[in-house]
């Protein structure tokens, strides 16, 4: 399977704990995006990498959130001191930037539940 | 502040008929728009896009229309099939254009009835 993969698919944690998610993009894609989706909402943009450089962050990405893409391949998203409001689906997407309109290919997501 | 709005949370259409999903936007500087389709427990899947300089783009059963003066776009599915039952999201570039992240509407749940 050469699509975007995310690990884990589900994560249950207690408030105050740290969690880390991993995303493996489509291998030839140099752009990688993180989104968050809550019930009844569309995906909300968090941050974007081109190769290993983090080029954009939304105001949703609070100080407790950090994302890395150290070698321009896979990426990790860490949430420190989780809060119940962090419960959501975290989606990763990648693109080659070569499509007409930046079509992004999404992974299946990591569902986070904070108790 | 929602820049892309889908005001119909759900839509029910009979199999074989036309499905029309609507989307309004506020930022006249958007370079392009995209439609995504999402099944439960899966990530969104790209469906079709349109440049802001065009008013129509067609791909098989799917056609997207753009009315810039009204800041409105619509996705037409003809004929509707049972496999089209999914949540459909309208999206546009977060910062207006380029290789940005996307800003999405809240989605419309399309239900195709036999």
- Exposure of A68 in the CB half-sphere (CA atoms within 13 A): 7
For residues A110 and A6, what is the distance between their CA atoms, to the nearest angstrom? 7
Residue in B9, B43, B102 closest to A109 by CB: B43
* 3-state SS, residue A58: coil
- Residue pLDDT, tens place only, B2-29: 799 999 999 999 999 999 999 999 988 8
In angstroms, what separates the C-alpha of A50 from chain B's closest C-alpha? 9
**Among A10-14, A43-47, A52-56, the range of highest mean pLDDT:** A10-14
- Residue pLDDT, tens place only, B66-99: 999 999 999 999 999 999 999 999 999 877 666 6
Token pair, residue A87, equals 């419960």
**Residue B23 near residue B88, CB atoms below 8 Å:** no
**Among A43-47, A52-56, B14-18, the range of highest mean pLDDT:** B14-18
Burial code of B30-45, b = ≥16 C-beta within 10 A, e = fewer? bbbbbbbbbeeeebbe
pLDDT of amino acid B1:
67
Mean pLDDT of chain A: 92
pLDDT at residue A96 is higher than 60: yes
pLDDT of amino acid A99:
60
pLDDT of amino acid A59:
83
Contact A102 B107 (CB under 8 A): no
pLDDT of amino acid A20:
98
pLDDT at residue A1 is higher than 60: no
Residue in B43, B51, B101 closest to A106 by CB: B43
pLDDT of amino acid A100:
61
Rounded mean pLDDT of B108-114? 97
Confidence category of residue A19, pLDDT binned at 50, 70, 90: very high
pLDDT at residue A97 is higher than 90: no
For residues B11 and B33, what is the distance between their CA atoms, to the nearest angstrom? 21
pLDDT of amino acid A98:
65
Residue in A40, A47, A91 closest to B43 by CB: A91
User: What is the widest separation between alpha-carbon atoms in chain A?
Assistant: 43
Residues 6+ away with beta carbon under 8 Å from B43: A4, A91, A93, A106, A107, A108, A109
Residue of B nearest to A96 (CA): B99
pLDDT of amino acid A77:
97
pLDDT of amino acid A57:
85
% residues pLDDT > 70 (chain A):
96
Contact B49 A101 (CB under 8 A): yes
Q: Does the CB of A7 have a partner CB in chain B at under 8 Å?
A: no
* 3-state SS, residue B60: coil
């Amino acid at each position: 399977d050469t699509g975007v993969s995310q690990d884990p698919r589900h994560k249950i944690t207690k408030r105050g704990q740290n969690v880390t998610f991993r995303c493996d993009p489509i291998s030839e894609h140099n752009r990688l995006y993180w989104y968050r989706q809550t019930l009844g909402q569309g995906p909300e943009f968090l941050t974007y990498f081109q190769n290993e450089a983090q080029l954009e962050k939304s105001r949703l990405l609070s100080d407790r959130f950090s994302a890395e893409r150290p070698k321009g391949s896979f990426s990790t998203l860490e949430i420190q001191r989780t809060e119940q409001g962090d419960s959501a689906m975290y989606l990763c997407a990648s693109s080659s930037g070569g499509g007409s309109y930046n079509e992004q290919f999404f992974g299946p997501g990591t569902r986070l539940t904070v108790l | 502040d929602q820049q892309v709005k889908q005001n119909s949370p759900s839509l029910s259409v009979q199999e074989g008929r036309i499905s029309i999903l609507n989307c309004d936007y506020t930022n006249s500087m958007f370079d392009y728009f995209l439609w995504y389709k999402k099944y439960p427990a899966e990530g969104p899947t790209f469906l079709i896009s349109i440049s802001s300089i065009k008013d129509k783009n067609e791909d098989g059963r799917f056609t997207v229309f753009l009315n810039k003066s009204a800041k409105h776009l619509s996705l037409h599915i003809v004929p509707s099939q049972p496999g089209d039952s999914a949540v459909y999201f309208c999206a546009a570039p977060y910062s207006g254009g380029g290789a940005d992240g996307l800003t999405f509407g809240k989605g419309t749940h399309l239900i195709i009835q036999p």
